[in-house]
Amino acid sequence: MSAESPQSRVERCLREVEARRDSPAAHFNLGLAYTQQGRMNSAEKAYRRALELDPDLIEAWVNLGGTLLLKWDFKGCQEANREAIRRRDDLLLAHFNLGQACLYLKDAAGVVDCNRKVIELDPNHAKGHYFLAVGLLATDRVAEAREELSRAVALGHRPPPDFLRALDKREKQPGDSESARYTPGVETPDHTKEG
């Protein structure tokens, strides 16, 4: 017995949507199939249709937020994840993705708040500790940043060298020095073609 190919899954989900046009689950499943293929524009449309049919489908809000994050639509990501969190506050992925959007929008306080919630939900979330350290360093809370970085490393996260250098530099320059403030680098997006 062979596993279903990503294209076969999309075709099956399209047939299901055709048969059940008013089914939020059918549109949600189609979004998942498109996501698996990296077809983010199509996934976004499917998740949005699922939410038109059922605005309380929390998983669709979370996945829409993740899709928008991958498309570098950070404001849209924030809106979708806030909707998910408004409906259910214990969604770790929604808080984490919201924190990632805050990071790219240079909202250090938002990064801190979101990743504190991630760690509240999962104290062993290595990336949550790391990104909390990033936010703390960006808000000049250097000692707290070092503590969170230590926790992240103990949990297996490997921070990038530029963050380690920035933290070391900031620890050697006490006081409020704007030039020593850490601003994480932002890589260019990997645009996925629809096809």
User: What's the pLDDT tens digit per position in 64-117?
Assistant: 999 999 999 999 999 999 999 999 999 999 999 999 999 999 999 999 999 999
pLDDT of residue 6: 85
pTM metric for this prediction: 0.84
- 30 close to 10: Cβ distance less than 8 angstroms: yes
Digitized pLDDT (tens) for each residue of the chain, 195 residues in all:
568 888 999 999 899 999 999 999 999 999 999 999 999 999 999 999 999 999 999 999 999 999 999 999 999 999 999 999 999 999 999 999 999 999 999 999 999 999 999 999 999 999 999 999 999 999 999 999 999 999 999 999 999 999 999 999 999 886 544 444 455 554 434 444 444
The first and second tokens of residue 95, run together, are: 């808080």
DSSP reduced 3-state for 1: coil
Could you write out the DSSP letters of every residue in 152-186? HHHTT----HHHHHHHHHHHHS-S--GGG------
How much of the chain is helix, strand and coil, in % rounded to 5? Answer: 70, 0, 30
pLDDT of residue 194: 47
Cβ contacts of 17-26, under 8 Å, gap ≥ 24: 17/46, 22/53, 23/53, 24/50, 24/51, 24/53, 24/54, 24/57, 24/60, 25/50
pLDDT of residue 179: 42
- What angle is formed at CA 148 by the lines to CA 151 and CA 131, rounded to 5 degrees? 110
Integer angstrom CA distances of residue 130 from 7, 38, 76: 36, 27, 24
| Helix or strand (DSSP H, E) at 84 | helix 74-87
pLDDT of residue 184: 57
User: What are the structural domains, with CATH classification, of the chain?
Assistant: 1-88 (1.25.40.10), 106-179 (1.25.40.10)
Please say whether the dihedral angle defined by the alpha carbons of residues 81, 128, 134 and 38, taken in this order, is positive or negative: negative
DSSP reduced 3-state for 143: helix
